Structure 1
Amino acid sequence: METPVQTWGALGGMVSEQNDFGAKTAQYMENNEVYDLFSQLLKQVLVERPENPLKFLQDQLMVPPKFCVCVMGPPGINRSKYCQQIATDYQVKHIHVGKLLRAKKELKENLEAGDLVADNIVIDLVKAELLRNKGSGWVLDGFPRTKVQARALAAAGKELACSVDSLLLLHAPEDVIRERYAAKVAAAGFKMEDKQYLIDTRLQQYHRHVLGLAEIYQNTIRTIEVSGGDDDQNVTYSSIKTCLHHRAYSNAPLRMHRICILGPCGSGRSTQSEFIAKNFGVVHVDVADLLRKHQEASGQVCEEVPPEFLGDEEICSLVGARLRQTDCVRKGWVLDGFPKTKAQAQFLRQAHHWPSRVIRLQTTVEQVGQRINLRRLDPVTGISYYQSPDSVVIRQRLVTRDYDSAEKVKERFHLYVGHVERAMECWPSVSSSIRGDGDPEDVAKGISDKITMPTPIELAQDPNSGLQG
């Protein structure tokens, strides 16, 4: 006899299964992104605080939401080129703060020395430019650079009738930064030795302030790796676009990605989840890591018990608490190995943590067994190794976990297979499968395509798709 599925409410307490009307209502609200629409409207109300909120909301529904993003990064990595491309693709204003400053002759000496211009001067220039573009979206190129500038931008939200949707931080190793800067200097007809002091000063200023900015924007910042070479610029811009989460036809065009990656132990699930977190700027929620941290915080002995052997109630409580944290709400998330059962899937529905994509990695028990057979655990750090580490000290203390034995791996695989289909049935419109036994980069590309390709329901929201009924 099949055990009745029980679900959990948003506060973690046991509740009865929703009736048919409630389930259909929730499905409608999710399919049409009603939650995200009202979140966007609420944000605008709080920014502008109109005297007549009802009239204000009516007016807001008649215009597309504004798209406002800041882009920061060290010197020499073509930040302005990427900003211009964003402005072109999303039809917003490119506000190049460097050009605004260079237009002021009185600032020439500061700029040539590589010094930062005083905060009050930069803030006044940027604020004036934003007021000239009030009512439209924009991409701020090179602002804010300091905590003072970031706080000033936030404080001016009501006056400017906008708020920053996200801050993109372009990151590169210092050798790449210096190599790219040298190329720019050479292209301008100068010798690098004559400009060495400039890059040194600018890098020093950048590193001094970037950590403070990351702290202020910790719930909206998205870091994008920039590598050397012109051939990689298209790759970098592709990463930028995935981090913007913008769909022009959506009711809520800044909807965050909420992704579930399913697969048995040894399927490469965690590796792919890390790729997604990096490429899409979302939070990697590793259920096994949540359990380990929970055990440490409560003073329990950290047992290496795989999540599939734990009760649904315990796992759902941990996952629900993590997804309600601000970084997950603002950035979106990728759930690594959850939901594994129908009860866990129903929990996500009841708690209004609806995934935008559910992707299953398909592999065989033989393939899983071959991978797990290579895995060793460092009991000190908790890191798993599939190849021998360079450190002799680490190699000597590696162990094989009890749950990684051939018998346990087969048991875990069949336990997963016995539940995953029922879990995916809860999200038919956003669920798909992909082979997980290929090269990790090829698998990552396939997953990325699944995430970025609109579903039929999403296309139906596009007024130009011809699918609206």
Structure 2
Amino acid sequence: MAEAAMEDPAQLWPPPVGTYAEEQGLFQILQNMLEELLIHKPDDPIEFMINHLKQNNDDAPKICILGPPASGKTTVAMWLSKHFDAIRVSQETLLFNETLALTEEAKAHKEKNQKIPNALWANLIQERLSNVDCIKQGWILEGFPENQEQAWMLQSFGIFPRHVVMLYASDTVLIERNSGKRLDPLTQEVYHTTFDWPSDPLVQERLVKPEDLSEQEVSKKLLEYHRNFPEVFQIYQKVLKSINADQPSVDVLSQVLTYVQTRHRSAAPFTPRIIFCGPPGSGKSLQAALIAQKYGVVNICCGQLLKEAVADNTNLGELIKPYIDNGWPGYFSLICPTSPSWSDCPSGERIPSLGKGTTPHSDQLPPQRSRPGSGRTPEMRKKILRSAWKPITGMSRTWRIFMKRPFMSMLTKTLMLSLSS
């Protein structure tokens, strides 16, 4: 038997261990720490891991905002920076940051109207993101990387964004939008003469027309962007989401925020916890049986459990027996914390569904229809209910599936693919 136990180490783990590891995100913590070790290769890995845990920045945002000219990258990046209190990093902020050692070299290229080399940009970004504020607060990288070489350089420095937002719009819209673009030199915020004009007169007076706004310059940048975009997309496709920029800014910001707040699927092992919900005849039992058979999970039927409780004469069984004997459909409301609602009994009585974490009062119970000679008063039933009531808490990684017959096979295949991937 000892050999059999050694062959299956999972059986040696008590269930609370897996639950604790899942709730605390231990797998993700260890995975992030291992990634940092392999990237930086410190001489003292123990001290490095201690410092990594002290930083406690695994949840800090690491976001890239990409897109063609005039797609709204600056607006989105500045808004996310304010929302998350993260550091916005763009080509403009890097060139005006006097504390960086490579800033002067980059400015020299800019003053000579020379293109700044990709390696210089990558080193500037790596130096900036290594500062304490970016490590603690997270960062929003705007408009970078622009091509495959820059993306590879960032990866070689250990810079991996968790979310990449790719804004897109038609070239006609972008060229038209670019003509009305205005810049506030004080705050670096971008406005538009038609779509986003500031209400403050002082801001209106400060606005200036950015450089390189000619249609020829924009067309040239768009051509270069379309040439490099497929390669960048290929590198970040697993963490990238494309969002249409040709819509109101509020809608764009809402979609961006929804995406960057999502967590990518973890590779951590977990125990599936699945709930099938649906009306009678929707196929819950069949789908649950198929999933249980394919993946070896335990199929728990609530109705069967209640019947077993009645047969075993438990407190809960004594409580729900009158409901089952009389064919009332409302006995589930006594054991499940649902939103306040009412269910109709066949005889016309109204049976209440209880709120989450609540215990019914005696006046909420249906009229007494106990078995002859039981002598159970409403107060006694109330006492039994309170002793048997156990609120059900929420479960992590719970999938709620509302079944409808036309979609039964499709949902089964989708769930099986999710479990097997």
- In the alignment, which residue of structure 2 is the partner of 1:214? 233
1:9-47 Cα offsets, whole Å, 9 max, x none, are xxxxxx869537343322222222111111111112122
- Please, which of 203, 223, 233 is the counterpart of residue 252 of structure 2? 233
**2:43 aligned counterpart, secondary structure:** coil
- In the alignment, which residue of structure 1 is the partner of 2:56? 64
- In the alignment, which residue of structure 2 is the partner of 1:30? 22
- In the alignment, which residue of structure 2 is the partner of 1:301? none
Shift of 1:182: 4.3
1:219-247 Cα offsets, whole Å, 9 max, x none, are 4334344342234234323333334x3xx
1:188-211 Cα offsets, whole Å, 9 max, x none, are 7879xx722222111111111111
Classify 1:119/1:17 alpha carbon distance in 2 versus 1 (closer, same or farther; 3 Å): closer
- In the alignment, which residue of structure 2 is the partner of 1:147? 148
Classify 1:139/1:190 alpha carbon distance in 2 versus 1 (closer, same or farther; 3 Å): closer
- Matched-pair contact (CA < 8 Å) for 2:81–2:87: yes
1:400-440 Cα offsets, whole Å, 9 max, x none, are xxxxxxxxxxxx77621555697686994432536577xxx
**1:84 aligned counterpart, secondary structure:** helix
Classify 1:63/1:123 alpha carbon distance in 2 versus 1 (closer, same or farther; 3 Å): closer
Quick check: 1:165 aligned with 2:172?
no
- In the alignment, which residue of structure 1 is the partner of 2:118? 119
- Matched-pair contact (CA < 8 Å) for 2:66–2:165: yes
Classify 1:425/1:145 alpha carbon distance in 2 versus 1 (closer, same or farther; 3 Å): farther
Classify 1:131/1:238 alpha carbon distance in 2 versus 1 (closer, same or farther; 3 Å): closer
Structure 2, gaps ≥5 residues long = 1-6, 98-106, 183-191, 194-206, 302-393, 405-421
Quick check: 1:54 aligned with 2:46?
yes
Q: 2: CA distance between counterparts of 1:199 and 1:235?
A: 27
2:226 partner amino acid: H
1:349-369 Cα offsets, whole Å, 9 max, x none, are xx92556x8575646657xxx
Classify 1:216/1:428 alpha carbon distance in 2 versus 1 (closer, same or farther; 3 Å): closer
1:138-157 Cα offsets, whole Å, 9 max, x none, are 22111111122112222233
- Matched-pair contact (CA < 8 Å) for 2:57–2:135: no
**1:352 aligned counterpart, secondary structure:** coil
Quick check: 1:198 aligned with 2:217?
yes
Shift of 1:62: 1.7
Quick check: 1:95 aligned with 2:95?
no
- In the alignment, which residue of structure 2 is the partner of 1:448? none
- In the alignment, which residue of structure 2 is the partner of 1:430? 397
Q: 2: CA distance between counterparts of 1:118 and 1:358?
A: 52
Q: 1: CA distance between counterparts of 2:300 and 2:265?
A: 20
**2:54 aligned counterpart, secondary structure:** coil
Shift of 1:106: 5.5
Shift of 1:95: 0.7
- Matched-pair contact (CA < 8 Å) for 1:359–1:431: yes
1:168-219 Cα offsets, whole Å, 9 max, x none, are 322334454345434436627879xx72222211111111111111222344
- Matched-pair contact (CA < 8 Å) for 1:30–1:354: no
Shift of 1:109: 7.9
**1:25 aligned counterpart, secondary structure:** helix
- Matched-pair contact (CA < 8 Å) for 2:276–2:288: no
Q: 2: CA distance between counterparts of 1:124 and 1:198?
A: 27
- The structure with more radius of gyration: 2
- Matched-pair contact (CA < 8 Å) for 1:98–1:142: no
1:111-160 Cα offsets, whole Å, 9 max, x none, are xxxx9644244334434433455644322111111122112222233xxx
Classify 1:433/1:176 alpha carbon distance in 2 versus 1 (closer, same or farther; 3 Å): farther
2:221 partner amino acid: R
- Matched-pair contact (CA < 8 Å) for 1:225–1:236: no
What TM-score, normalized by structure 2, do the two folds share? 0.52
Cα RMSD after superposing both structures:
4.1
Shift of 1:88: 2.5
- Matched-pair contact (CA < 8 Å) for 1:94–1:141: yes
- Matched-pair contact (CA < 8 Å) for 2:119–2:153: no
Quick check: 1:415 aligned with 2:412?
no
**1:62 aligned counterpart, secondary structure:** helix
Q: 1: CA distance between counterparts of 2:162 and 2:288?
A: 40
What TM-score, normalized by structure 1, do the two folds share? 0.47
Q: 1: CA distance between counterparts of 2:166 and 2:275?
A: 28
Classify 1:128/1:74 alpha carbon distance in 2 versus 1 (closer, same or farther; 3 Å): same
Q: 2: CA distance between counterparts of 1:239 and 1:172?
A: 20
Quick check: 1:41 aligned with 2:60?
no
- Matched-pair contact (CA < 8 Å) for 1:224–1:239: no
Q: 2: CA distance between counterparts of 1:424 and 1:234?
A: 42
Q: 1: CA distance between counterparts of 2:208 and 2:47?
A: 57
Classify 1:234/1:153 alpha carbon distance in 2 versus 1 (closer, same or farther; 3 Å): closer
Shift of 1:166: 3.8
1:79-105 Cα offsets, whole Å, 9 max, x none, are 122212222233321112245458948
Q: Percent identity?
A: 19
Structure 1, gaps ≥5 residues long = 1-14, 246-255, 259-328, 330-350, 367-411, 438-469
Classify 1:430/1:353 alpha carbon distance in 2 versus 1 (closer, same or farther; 3 Å): closer
2:215 partner amino acid: Q
**1:51 aligned counterpart, secondary structure:** coil
- Matched-pair contact (CA < 8 Å) for 1:176–1:228: no
Classify 1:108/1:359 alpha carbon distance in 2 versus 1 (closer, same or farther; 3 Å): farther
Specify which structure has the bigger relative contact order, considering alpha-carbon pairs within 8 angstroms and separated by 6 or more residues. Answer: 1
Q: 1: CA distance between counterparts of 2:258 and 2:246?
A: 12
- In the alignment, which residue of structure 1 is the partner of 2:80? 86
Classify 1:205/1:365 alpha carbon distance in 2 versus 1 (closer, same or farther; 3 Å): farther
Shift of 1:63: 1.9
